[in-house]
Amino acid sequence: MATRYDGLSQKTTSKQNSETMSEVLDNRGLNQITHYNTSKLQYPTVQQIRTLTIDAHTWSHQDRYWKLAAKYYGDSKYWWVIAWFNKKPIESMLNIGDQVSIPMPLDRILRML
């Protein structure tokens, strides 16, 4: 199954020159930090969305994306799929009573990325 980090566009390594970063690196026994550029996620087209089953969930007081992912996908690490699909990257953008769309099946939505 595809993961969020499959197909990373490139890896860059840089040495940090600031005094603060030098201290952080020294404390961790490092001399450089490796940065990964994540590919931009493409939102599915209308035609692609038609091939999905969309479950509606009403946002409630104790809801969290990771809890919804565990419930609907069986794995909390796919919380970001729900956030991305609803175009609400953080939970504080949701209010109690908002409808959250849960795209299913998971493997199909991951292939659309």
Angle ∠(82,51,104) on CA atoms, nearest 5: 30
Tokens (6 digits) for 54: 């969309």
Tally Cβ neighbours within 10 Å of residue 61: 5
Structurally, the chain folds into a number of domains equal to 2
Asked if residue 52 and residue 35 are part of one domain, the reply reads no
Asked if residue 54 and residue 31 are part of one domain, the reply reads no
Mean pLDDT of the chain: 85
Q: What is the pLDDT of residues 46-91, one digit of tens each?
A: 999 999 999 999 999 999 999 999 999 999 999 999 999 999 999 9
Residue 28 vs residue 91, higher pLDDT: 91
Domain holding 62, by residue range, is 46-112
Asked if residue 107 and residue 52 are part of one domain, the reply reads yes
Give 13's pLDDT tier (boundaries 50, 70, 90): very low
Instruction: Name the pTM for this structure.
Output: 0.68
Asked if residue 53 and residue 19 are part of one domain, the reply reads no
